[in-house]
Every structure is written in structure tokens, then in C-alpha cells.
Amino acid sequence: MRHSHVCIAALAIIATSFDASAATLVWSDEFEGSFGYPDQSKWSYETGGDGWGNSELQYYTDRRDALANAFIWENKLIIKARKESYEGMAYTSARLNSRESWLYGRFVIRAKMPSGAGTWPAIWMLPTDNAYGTWPDSGEIDIMEHLGKDSGTIYTSLHTEAQNHMLGNSRSASFVVSDATSAFHDYRIDWTETGIWFYVDDELKYYTPNESVEGSEDASASWPFDQPFHLLLNMAMGGWGGTVDESVLPQDFEIDYVRVYSLEGADGLAYRYDGVDVNGWTDNPVLGQIYVRLDPWIWSDRLKTWLYVPTPPDEIGGWTYVFN
């Protein structure tokens, strides 16, 4: 496929997502207290050590004692992984599920990553009811994954029946947060019926649109994200995390807070272009009428083709387009 590039400097830039002031806090856990355990009215434990489908090496416990793998310490949730022979596994850790579920919204989790090869902390979401079938058919939203063997690299992804890691085509992105293991950062998604935006500290890192065809029988195969999902916080060992460096253990995955906001009443999709009508079209002097509902993919009526917007605007405010 031949690609060509056109630099357009005439498009006015507006916000890339939603008016933050219109987001309303609907649920949170600030993990307050000098010491304690996860609030069981907000979180449930998942336990077990069968590899979790990923060749993981830890046993997830629900202990609430001196050997707890999840506890509150100085206003933070600590998920601690230890080298410890337990129920036939070599390591222990914890996996927490939110008892609340949501359909759409803003999810902000402030966290600091553990370090060391073999650690694999994650902030993610699963469907509360498998409306479209078992994994991956009902979807998975990975807000943040970090591998200690690739310290500072953050991974985000979606898994669906049509696109998942087993097929090698999951919608995903990776980017560097150089101080991820030494500083706290806000890991965030904005999830709506039109797409999901991924952020770190309010900086947009990745966007994937809802490309399903409304009303089609197989729409859920590519977009099952129209059902309630719940949050998960965990730290796995091994598996995708690789060979465990036992010299670094124990390790802590620290979460400062979890905040969930409703986006109802927000401005809705705020396109990067002026003059977008209710049907998603705007006029550009070079490209003619362009359809931007699936931004960053846009359709040019004049060129009769889809174009992809791969980069943010340059210093003069232009965008680079790649012909499909």
C-alpha cells in the first residue's frame, strides 16, 4: 500500500476529549488511614494460584493479618508481592475487584509501580456479566500494565472477540513514563459509547474509536464495551512479566486513590476541528467535507478515502494525514 502525507495548517484545534469541569465524581476510594485493610464494602478479593491463564506464578490471598498482601498504609493501598511458598506457588500477592460496576465514565487511578523483573501490576476492567460470552468475547479494558523487566514502559490495550492478544491484533499502545517506579501518576480513561481515550496525567496517549456498525449482528465482536464493567487492581508475578528476580522481593504496588466520574452533562465528543455538525461532518478547504466521528480516522468526501491522523499538531498548528 502506498502512503502519502499532506500537511494541513488550516484546521483550528479544539479539545481532544471532554470538559473536565463537567465530570461528576460518583465513586471513590481514597484509602485513608495510617493502617488498615481494603474496605470490603467497596472491594472483594479474588484468590487462587492456578496461573490465571497467563502462566502466572503467584497465589492471590485474602489475608487480613500481619501477612496481608493488600493493606492500607499511610493513606495508600499497598499490594505487596512476596517470595513465599503458599498453596503450591512460589509467590503471594493480591487481586481486588470493585464491587461497583459502571457503564461509561472517567476512571482515574493514581499509582506508583513496583520495580524488578517479574513484577506485573495492572489496573484494568472486566465485564460484570459476560453478556456476549466468556473471555475475550465480552471484552477487557487494560487501563495500565507495567512490566518490571521493561521498567517505565506502560501498556494499554483492549481485548475483544475479533481483536485480542491470542490473535495478535489487540488494539494497544505502549509509551514511556520514565519515573513510573519512583513517582505517582494518574492513569485514566474516558469511556463513552463512541470510543475510549487513555491518558497519563491528563496527557492523551491513545485513542480507539467504536468502529462497530450500529445494529449489526456481530457488532459486539469488535465493540462489546456497551455493558457494565468493574475495576481490578492486582500484581501478578511471572507470566508476561517474565523471569522473576527474587533479589528485589518483596515489592509494592502503591495506589493513592481510585476515582470514578460520570461524563453525563459533559460536552460530549469535542472534535479537533471547528464547525462539526451533529452528524460528524465539517468542511476543510483542502480535503472538502470530512467526516470526523471516528477521529483520528477521517473520511474526505473530496478525496473519497479514509485518512489517519497519526501525530498531534506541529508548531504551526498543522496535522499530518496518511492516506489509507
Show which residues are catalytic.
140, 145
The cell numbers describing 172, all together, are: 494497544
C-beta separation of 111 from 144 below 8 A: yes
Letter string b/e over residues 266-299, b meaning 16 or more CB atoms within 10 A of that residue's CB = beebebbbeebeeebbbebeebeebbbbbbbebb
Residue at 306: amino acid letter:
W
Neighbours of 27 (CB within 10 A): 16
Length of the chain as a residue count: 324
The cell numbers describing 46, all together, are: 479474588
Nearest CA-CA partner of 86 in 237, 243, 221? 237
Distance in angstroms between the alpha carbons of the first and the last residue of the chain = 8
Query: The cell 494499554 sits on which residue?
Result: 156
What 3-state DSSP class applies to 315? coil
C-beta separation of 202 from 110 below 8 A: no
The cell numbers describing 254, all together, are: 502503591
Whole-number Å distance between alpha carbons of 318 and 313: 5
Q: Which residues are bridge partners to 198 per DSSP? A: 189, 206
Pairing of strands 89-93, 58-60: parallel
Whole-number Å distance between alpha carbons of 209 and 188: 16
H/E stretch holding 221: helix 219-222
DSSP string, 268-305: ----SSS---TTSEEEETTTEEEE-TTTTEEEETTTTE
